[in-house]
């Protein structure tokens, strides 16, 4: 065991040093480490938004979960649940009355702190907003000959949301605004699981209906044999009925289809062992396959339109900031043990040979290669069907020890602020001192002691988490040790800078010291601009944020193009 362990740690470190990686699990251990570290955390998962990994997750019985809808009656079937009530409240609105605080014809421009700004996806909204009267494909779902969707209440689904918005617009334009009082509000449902929910967590911003790769794990991998039909959002192909004569479920970027097919997979292929799917957008959420089987109603309350109003009163912070604050409160974790992940046996495309690539923007993308995907799906099934691990290790806690210890140190050394070799080496020696036997110097042993400080002993059955965390720790320690022996200041600085860029820890993009009336803003679909992804910043007013990161047009906060972007999916 000791040999295996030593060869792992030392072997992996040297592959980094030589730049010649052999196995993907080794090559991508920095990315796997970051996936572990950012799992169930809104901050890192927002930055590293293309999730390449799947984890088994448990949500304990009794945890409060929220659902916003137009209906006062309990919801059954496959639906969406939020972990934060602010998230669900966005959907707690009537499907008859106009959106709160709105009147008059569609406006060509919206301010980002309007509630509209929170509503995905821009493209669909653009069409519905400007062409509700055209009766084109975007409107088809509203026609009564499709009772399946019409009869369903407006709920926390992107598809239903978009359809409901169409209804608002149509009613506003064609029907008198005569909706009676009792139709002008929505409901916040609070549910509690009847049992521990067993979920499949898809990491990154996996609920972001974007074409940047956030849906790769779902659309390319999990639904490989049933990918959402091209143009499953709002485009003309939707008009054609499928073979069985039924219309295909629509919704922006196939959201309803996706949920139904994922639950079908859970029921058949995975023998009912998965109750739903855990994903993230502006807040973590669950696609729960059967509300009636798994949930008790805790309460159902009527929401006020103020809950959703976009206006900022004097001194108030408006709904936009309030919602983002609720989301940001989970930057460092979902909290309260509301979700437990299994780190011993998660699986990742990063670790599967040839399963992913990095695109020109260095974003990880799943490769649509059937042979590789089938192997990965077999591994997914094995993970789901195997009995629970007896002695689970919290690899995220180990990763945390490494990050909290080294983040500031590495950032300082890589900053160039330490401008001479003597001081640089002094810093490094302070860091390494605890691991050195000054009566018997042995660099190999020193690196080994440093790297294994927090890493539990590995065994031959250690999984990808163990190997990746150990590899990252070893790489840090060996780089620091090498830099401590550098003969020039430039060499020492280069080594620490390349270490920092290889690690790419999300914490290095975190704002420092925002005011209590501010949030550290990072783009979360559908909000934000490129600049803010590069340099998240403190923001006190959502009208300050820019656009464009998710492919919406226009960099400025007050600009929105009318044209819809047709470049959907891939
Ligand atoms: C939902 O399921 C519950 C429990 O099975 C049932 O009592 C209720 O009538 C159902 N509601 C609807 C709208 O179908
Ligand atoms: C993946 O490739 C298959 C076969 O070429 C294709 O039918 C499918 O649409 C692709 N999936 C996605 C999400 O592009
Ligand atoms: C937010 O910014 C907008 C536009 O600059 C301004 O009209 C509004 O008053 C600001 N709100 C707050 C609460 O400062
Ligand atoms: C350093 O320690 C390792 C592991 O115990 C050992 O194999 C190696 O020979 C030592 N090197 C020196 C120079 O003593």
Residue spans per domain, the chain: 2-40+390-508, 54-338+346-385
CB burial of 89-115 (b: ≥16 within 10 Å; e: otherwise) equals bbbbbbbbbbbbebeeebeeebbbbbb
Q: Is 292 in the pocket of ligand 1 (CB under 6 A)?
A: yes
Which residue's entry shows tokens 């922006």?
252
Q: Separation of 474 CA from ligand 4 center, angstroms?
A: 17
Q: Which ligand is nearest to the CA of 542?
A: 3
Is 73 touching ligand 1 by the criterion CB < 6 Å? yes
In this predicted structure, the answer to whether residue 281 has a pLDDT above a threshold of 90 is yes
Please state, in angstroms and rounded to a whole number, the distance separating the CA atoms of residues 542 and 557: 9
Instruction: Please give the pLDDT value at position 232.
Output: 53
Residue 563 pLDDT exceeds 90: no
Percent of the chain with pLDDT over 90: 64
Report the range of poorest mean pLDDT among 62-71, 138-147, 247-256, 304-313. 138-147
DSSP conformational letter for 357? E
- pLDDT for the residue numbered 44: 98
Would the CB of 220 count as within 6 Å of ligand 2? Answer: yes
Ligand 3 centre distance from Cα of residue 541 (Å) = 6
Ligand 2 nearest atom to the CA of residue 220, by list position: 13
Question: Would the CB of 312 count as within 6 Å of ligand 3?
Answer: yes
Given a cut of 80, is residue 276 above it in pLDDT? Answer: yes
**Is residue 543 within 6 Å of ligand 3 at its C-beta?**
yes
pLDDT in tens, 439-495: 999 999 999 999 999 987 787 778 899 999 999 999 999 999 999 999 999 999 999
Whether ligand 4 lies within 6 angstroms of the CB of 444 is answered as: yes
Tens digit of each residue's pLDDT (9 = 90 or more) over 103-159: 323 322 333 333 332 333 322 232 222 222 222 222 223 222 222 333 333 345 444
Give 318's pLDDT tier (boundaries 50, 70, 90): low
Q: Above 80 in pLDDT, residue 403?
A: yes
Nearest CA to ligand 2 atom 8: 227
Note the pLDDT tens digit of each residue in 518-537: 999 999 999 999 999 999 99
For ligand 3, say whether the CB of 319 is within 6 Å of any of its atoms: no
- Ligand 4 pocket, 445 CB below 6 A? yes
CA of 548 to the centre of ligand 3 (A): 21
Q: What is the pLDDT of residue 569?
A: 24
Its pTM stands at 0.80
Report the half-sphere exposure of 119 (CA within 13 A, side-chain side). Answer: 32
Probe target for ligand 2 pocket from 368, 370, 371, with the most ligand atoms within 8 Å of CB: 368
Residue 3 CA to ligand 4 center (angstroms) comes to 13
- The average pLDDT across 376-396 equals 93
Mean of the per-residue pLDDT values of the chain: 78
* Residue 293, both tokens: 């089987």
pLDDT of residue 512: 95
CB 511 within 8 A of CB 540: no
Instruction: Give nearest CA residue, ligand 4 atom 2.
Output: 445
* CA-nearest residue, atom 13 of ligand 4: 442
The pLDDT confidence band at residue 253, using thresholds 50, 70 and 90, is low
Q: What is the pLDDT of residue 167?
A: 40
Ligand 4 centre from 445 Cα, in Å? 7
227 C-beta closer than 6 A to ligand 2: yes
Q: How far away, in angstroms, is 7 Cα from ligand 4 center?
A: 13
Residues 411/416/421/427 CA torsion (nearest 10 deg): -30
Report the nearest-CA residue for atom 9 of ligand 2: 227
In the numeric block, the tokens 């490094």 are attached to 428
Distance 252 CA to ligand 1 centre (A): 27
Q: Does ligand 2 lie within 6 Å of residue 375's CB atom? A: no
Query: Which residue's alpha carbon is nearest to atom 10 within ligand 1?
Result: 76
Show the DSSP H helices in 433-504 as ranges: 443-451, 464-484, 489-503
- Is residue 526 reached through a cis peptide bond, with omega within 30 degrees of 0 on the bond before it? yes
Work out the pLDDT band at 185, boundaries 50, 70, 90. Answer: confident
- Per-residue pLDDT, averaged over 286-313, amounts to 80
Q: How far is CA 409 from the centre of its chain?
A: 28
């Amino acid at each position: 065991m000791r040999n295996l362990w030593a060869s792992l740690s030392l072997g992996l470190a040297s592959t980094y040093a030589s730049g010649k990686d052999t196995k993907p699990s080794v090559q991508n251990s920095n990315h796997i480490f970051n996936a572990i570290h950012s799992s169930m955390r809104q901050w890192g998962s927002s930055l590293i938004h293309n999730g390449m990994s799947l984890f088994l997750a448990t949500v304990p019985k009794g945890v409060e979960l929220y659902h916003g809808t137009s209906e006062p009656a309990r919801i059954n079937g496959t639906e969406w649940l939020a972990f934060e009530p602010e998230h669900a409240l966005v959907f707690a609105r009537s499907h008859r009355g106009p959106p709160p605080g709105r009147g008059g014809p569609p406006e060509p421009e919206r301010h980002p702190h309007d509630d509209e700004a929170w509503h995905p996806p821009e493209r669909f909204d653009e069409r519905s907003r400007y062409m509700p009267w055209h009766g084109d494909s975007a409107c088809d779902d509203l026609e009564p000959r499709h009772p399946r969707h019409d009869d369903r209440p407006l709920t926390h689904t992107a598809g239903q949301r978009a359809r409901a918005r169409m209804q608002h617009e149509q009613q506003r334009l064609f029907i008198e605004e005569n909706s009676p009082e009792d139709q002008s509000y929505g409901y916040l449902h609070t549910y509690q699981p009847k049992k521990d929910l067993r979920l499949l967590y898809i990491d990154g911003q996996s609920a972001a209906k974007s074409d940047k790769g956030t849906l790769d794990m779902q659309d390319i991998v999990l639904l490989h044999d049933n990918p959402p039909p091209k143009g499953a959002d709002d485009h003309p192909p939707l008009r054609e009925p499928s073979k069985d004569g039924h219309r295909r479920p629509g919704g922006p970027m196939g959201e309803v289809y996706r949920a139904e097919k994922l639950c079908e997979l859970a029921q058949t292929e995975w023998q009912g062992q998965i109750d739903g799917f855990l994903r993230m957008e502006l807040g973590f959420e669950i696609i729960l396959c059967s509300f009636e089987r798994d949930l008790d109603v805790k309460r159902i309350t009527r929401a006020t339109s103020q809950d959703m109003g976009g206006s900022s009163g004097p001194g108030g912070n408006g709904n936009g900031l309030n919602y983002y604050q609720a989301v940001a409160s989970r930057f460092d974790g979902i909290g309260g043990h509301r979700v437990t992940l299994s780190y011993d046996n998660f699986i990742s495309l990063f670790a599967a040979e040839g399963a992913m690539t990095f695109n020109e923007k260095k974003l990880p993308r799943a490769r649509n290669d059937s042979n590789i995907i089938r192997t990965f799906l077999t591994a997914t099934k094995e993970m789901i069907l195997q009995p629970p691990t007896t002695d689970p290790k919290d690899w995220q806690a180990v990763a945390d020890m490494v990050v909290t210890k080294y983040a500031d140190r590495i950032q300082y050394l890589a900053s160039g602020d330490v401008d001479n070799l003597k001081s640089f080496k002094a810093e490094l020696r302070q860091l390494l001192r605890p691991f050195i036997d000054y009566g018997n110097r042995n660099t190999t042993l020193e690196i080994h002691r440093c790297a294994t400080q927090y890493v539990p002993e590995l065994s031959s059955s250690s999984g990808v988490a163990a190997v990746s965390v150990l590899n990252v720790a070893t790489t840090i320690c060996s780089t620091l040790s090498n830099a401590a022996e550098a003969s020039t200041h430039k060499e020492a600085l280069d080594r620490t800078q390349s270490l920092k860029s290889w690690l790419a820890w999300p914490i290095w993009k975190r704002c420092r010291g925002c005011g209590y009336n501010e949030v550290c803003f990072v783009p979360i679909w559908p909000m934000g601009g490129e600049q803010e992804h590069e340099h998240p910043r403190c923001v006190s007013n959502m009208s300050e944020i820019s656009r464009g990161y998710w492919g919406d047009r226009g960099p400025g906060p007050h600009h929105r193009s009318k044209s819809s972007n047709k470049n959907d999916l891939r």
